[in-house]
Amino acid sequence: MPQVTLLVGSKSDADAVRPVLSTLERFGVSCTPIVCSAHRAPERLHRIIREAEQGGTQVFICGAGLAAALPGATAAYTARPVIGLPIASGALNGVDSLYSIVQMPPGVPVAGVGINAAANAAYLAVQIIALADPALAERYATFRKDQSARIDAFE
């Protein structure tokens, strides 16, 4: 049962979201990546979200470029947390996607991370899932401690 469903709007987003998979794997969080465009295949997206919920998905991460409807459309179909990952592309280089993701209407939130901040999307998912998973919370706390120790080493 995948704990995270990673949706991307296009195959062309694959390289940008790869750190989501490697970061989740590092923490032992299972993830299924799926390509589905909110604009080009809205009915399929609805079906995918329903099936993901039935399969136990706790958090959705949605990476998309350009108008980036995918995170918002996913949030419209589920009450589980949705993390929006804006991907740099097109004339506006991801600023369009960032604005789309953070400007959701009240009542349908999407948690936005920075442009191409794929690892941060994964860390945020880990933090959410860790609320009800003490072993994962422990692994994440260790990671944060190690990270602090590495920073201190430069001083």
Applying CB under 6 A, the residues found at the interface with ligand RP5 are 9-10, 12-13, 37, 64-66, 87, 89
CB of 20 to ligand RP5, least distance (A): 14
- Cβ 37 to ligand RP5 shortest distance, Å: 5
Nearer residue to ligand RP5 within complex by CB, 13 or 133: 13
Residue number, 30 or 103, with CB nearest to ligand RP5: 103
Nearer to ligand RP5 by Cβ, of 64 and 129: the residue is: 64
Nearest approach in angstroms of CB 145 to ligand RP5 is 35
Enter the tokens of residue 122. Answer: 């994964």
| Shortest distance (Å) from residue 109 CB to ligand RP5 | 20
